[in-house]
Amino acid sequence: MRLAHTSLAITAWLLPSTVVAKFGLTTKGNTLSIDTNAGLVFDINKANGDITSLLYNGMQYQGTSKMSALNSGLGTSTVTAETIGNIIKITVVAKSLPLTHYYVARPDDPTVYMATYITGEVSPGELRWLARLRRSAVPKGWNGDVGVLDGCTAFEGKDTFKCPNGQTRCKMYTSDRFIEDQVHGVTGNNVGIWMIMPGTAYETSSGGPFMRDINSQSGDDQELYWYMNSGHVRTEPWRFGLMGPYAMRFTTGAKPSADLNPSFFSGLNIQGYVPANRRGSTAGFVTGVDPKFQKVVHWYNNASQYWTIASPADGKYTSPLMKPGTYTVKLYRGEFPVAQDTVTITAGNIATKNITSKDPTPSIIWRIGEFDGRPHELKNGDKIERMHPEDVRMGTWGGSYTVGKSTAKEFPMALFAKKGGAATVTFSIANDQVAVETVVRVGTTLSFKGGRPSVKVNNWQGSDPGAPKLIDSRGVTRGAYRGYGEMYTWKVPAGTLKEGTNTLTLGVFGSGDANFLSANYIVDALELQGPKGVDSPS
Please say if the pLDDT value at position 169 is more than 50. Answer: yes
How many domains does the structure of the chain reveal? 3
One domain, residues 54 and 161: yes
Going by pLDDT thresholds of 50, 70 and 90, the confidence category of residue 56 is: very high
pTM: 0.93
Q: What is the 3-state secondary structure (H, E, C) of 150-194?
A: CCCEEEECCCEEECCCCCEEEHHHHCCECCCCCEEEEEECCEEEE
Clarify whether residues 263 and 282 are in a common domain.
no
Beta strand 51-56 with 183-188: parallel, antiparallel or unpaired?
A: unpaired
253 in any annotated domain: yes
10 Å CB burial of residue 515 (0-12, 13-18, 19+) is middle
Write phi, then psi, for 521 (nearest 5 degrees): -150, 160
Examine the pLDDT at 158 and tell me if it is beyond 50: yes
pLDDT at 8: 35
Smallest CA-to-CA distance from 208 within 323, 317, 335 is with: 335
Interval 333-345: pLDDT, tens: 999 999 999 999 9
For residues 220 and 307, state if they share a domain.
no
- Strands (DSSP E) contained in 5-159 are 24-28, 31-35, 40-45, 51-56, 59-60, 69-70, 77-84, 87-94, 99-105, 111-118, 127-134, 153-156
Average pLDDT over every residue of 505-523: 93
Q: How confident is the model at residue 525 (pLDDT cuts 50, 70, 90)?
A: very high
Tell me the pairing of strands 423-429 and 399-402.
parallel
Q: Is 222 exposed, middle or buried (0-12, 13-18, 19+ CB in 10 A)?
A: buried
Q: Is the pLDDT assigned to residue 12 strictly greater than 50? A: no
Q: Enumerate residues 6+ apart whose C-beta is below 8 A from 326.
A: 301, 342, 343, 344, 345
Q: What is the per-residue pLDDT for 6?
A: 39
CATH code where residue 418 lies: 2.60.120.260
Distance CA 479, CA 2 (A): 48
Q: Please give the C-alpha separations between residue 3 and each of 206, 463, 473, in angstroms, as whole numbers.
A: 38, 72, 48
Same domain, 375 and 348: no
Task: For residues 71 and 205, state if they share a domain.
Answer: yes
pLDDT in tens, 421-441: 999 999 999 999 999 999 999
> Cα torsion at 119, 125, 129, 132 (round to 10°)?
-150
86 and 92 Cβ atoms separated by less than 8 Å: no
Predicted confidence at residue 21, as pLDDT, reads 54
- Whether residue 302 lies inside any domain: the answer is yes
Closest CA to 105 of 80, 118, 121, 86: 86
How much is the pLDDT for 396? 95
The rounded distance, in Å, linking the Cα atoms of 368 and 373 is 13
Same domain? 385 vs 345: no
Does position 106 have pLDDT exceeding 60, yes or no? yes
- Cα–Cα distance, 156 to 33 (Å, whole number): 41
Residue 20 has pLDDT above 70, yes or no: no
| Mean pLDDT to the nearest integer, 114-132 | 93
Check residue 420 and give left, alpha or beta (phi > 0: left; psi -120 to 50: alpha): left
303: nearest Cα among 340, 274, 265: 274
Higher pLDDT, 273 or 14: 273
- Span 506-515, average pLDDT: 90
More confident residue, 347 or 122: 347
- Whether 535 is covered by a domain: the verdict is no
Q: How confident is the model at residue 5 (pLDDT cuts 50, 70, 90)?
A: very low
Same domain, 38 and 158: yes
Hey, how many other C-beta atoms are within 10 angstroms of the C-beta on 59? 16
Averaged pLDDT for residues 454-465: 98
324 shares its domain with 232:
no
Would residue 2 count as lying in a domain? no
The two beta strands, 281-287 and 355-356, are: parallel
Contact call for residues 399 and 410 (beta carbons, < 8 A): yes
Average pLDDT over residues 143-148: 97
Nearest Cα to Cα of residue 182 among 234, 256, 131: 256
Classify residue 312: in a domain, yes or no: yes
Statement to judge: residues 380 and 348 lie in one domain: no
Based on the domain organization, do 330 and 452 belong to the same domain? no
> CB of 479 within 8 A of CB of 170?
yes
The least confident of 10-19, 138-147, 167-176, 234-243 is: 10-19
For residue 244, what pLDDT band results from cuts at 50, 70 and 90?
very high
Helix (H, G, I), strand (E, B) or coil at 38: coil
Residue 485 sits in the same domain as residue 465: yes
Domain that holds residue 348: 276-356
Using alpha carbons only, give the angle 372, 213, 224 rounded to the nearest 5 degrees: 145
pLDDT at 534: 63
Amino acid at 347: A
Q: Are residues 326 and 223 in the same domain?
A: no
**What pLDDT sits at residue 455?**
98
Residue 31 lies inside a defined structural domain of this protein: yes
347 assigned to some structural domain: yes
What does the pLDDT read at residue 14?
A: 33
Average pLDDT, integer, range 354-359? 97
Q: Are 44 and 69 in contact (CB under 8 A)?
A: no
Instruction: Tell me: pLDDT of 409 over 60.
Output: yes
